[in-house]
Structure 1
Amino acid sequence: MNKAFTKEDDGSTPERLPDLPISPHPNHVTPQGLARLKARHAALEAELARLREGRDFLDDLHPLAVAERDLRYVEARLNTAILVPPPTEATDQVRFGATVTVADEDGQESTYTIVGEDESDPAQHLIAAFSPLARALIEARVGDIVEWPKPTGMVELEVLRVTYRD
């Protein structure tokens, strides 16, 4: 093919990276999760503006493409966010957004907060609502024993406390 009919990449337009996968689960968010998504959106917009300003000096347009892809993801998550505020009345029942203290069979206590997928961080004991542990806990009440299916076997947990953040 004659070179005159081919389009060469002159580097003026960053490659468009494929979109990040969007979860099939409902996008429930706590008020804190929604605030974090909005803050992340603002930070990505600022980062994009900074990258576009200094574009003449960029040797690699990949950071710009990554920031654009990440912004598309955050915008999609904000557009599908379903805000779930904490209960208005005191309750001892575990629901989305609850912070739950449990004790295992050995009496070892742990505390978990049931949050949206974008907020989840198991290392910080923030667990996604569709995780096996959250599914075991949701609708339980203080004093209930729940069964948590783990790869190593079933674990029984007693619900000790249930609180909600404002």
Structure 2
Amino acid sequence: MSRAFVKESTGELDPLPDLPISPHPNYVTPRGLAALKDRLLARQADLQALRARVERLDKLPEAAAERDIRYLEARLRSAIVINPAEQDGRTVGFGHVITVADEAGGTARYEITGEDEADAKVGRIAPQSPLARALIGAEVGDEVVWRKPSGSVRLTVVAIGLP
């Protein structure tokens, strides 16, 4: 076999590709900013521990930690902190907790947070989500239409509050 097409290895890993950065503005709550900082400190500590290992044959965990650190540093540089307590509480906005009622009479609570803080399991949604887009700007008593892949749902804003 010809050696012309064989890549010589230096023993070092090529850097892992960077994690994708959202094209949307990086709005964060004060809690979200603190969480990003905590995640960065944790990954920096992880990297330090990985570099202190006696056996360092597997460099992939270090490369992953370096990639995560680059991502978190970029998210912190682009963070636009919005304190929900400083906003008008009459209309739904970023950082607010919204209680809605559906047509069947069921209620649910959602909090509009930054993308890195969003977690559907606990009702935290990103401002770019279809539900958040339907809710932003609504007032108590307003009816909004949440367009879902399974069909549209009508929701009534019952309450607007702070986390």
TM-score under structure 1 length normalisation: 0.90
Change (3 A) 1:89 1:138: closer
- Match for residue 151 of structure 2? 153
Unaligned runs of 5+ in 2: none
Identity between Structure 1 and Structure 2 (%): 49
Instruction: Show the 5 A alignment for 1:14-29.
Output: 14-29=13-28
Q: What does the per-residue CA deviation read over 1:51-99, in whole Å, with 9 as the maximum and x for residues that have no partner?
A: 1111x41331110010000110000000000001113366231000010
What is the CA distance between 1:123 and its match in structure 2? 1.5
Query: Take 1:17 and 1:33, find their aligned partners in 2: how far apart are those partners?
Result: 26
Q: For the structure 1 residues 8 and 163, does the alpha-carbon distance in structure 2 shift closer, same or farther, using more than 3 Å as the test?
A: same
Moved over 6 A (4+): none
- Equivalent residue pairs, number: 160
2:135 maps to which of 114, 137, 149: 137
Distance in 1 (alpha carbons) for counterparts of 2:19 and 2:150: 31
In structure 2, distance between residues paired with 1:153 and 1:144? 20
Report matched runs for 1:94-133 at 5 Å: 94-133=92-131
Q: Which residue of 2 aligns with 1:79?
A: 77
* CA shift digits 1:121-163 (9 cap, x unpaired): 1121110001000000001011110010011111100000111
Measure the CA separation in 2 of the matches of 1:101 and 1:37.
Answer: 27
Residue equivalent to 1:65: 63
User: Is it true that 1:9 corresponds to 2:10 in the alignment?
Assistant: yes
Q: Distance between the aligned counterparts of 1:125 and 1:43, measured in 2?
A: 25
Cα distance between partner residues in 1 of 2:85 and 2:137: 13
Amino acid at match of 2:128: F
- Give 1:35-46 correspondences, 5 Å limit: 35-46=34-45
What CA distance in whole angstroms lies between the structure 2 residues aligned with 1:40 and 1:88? 26
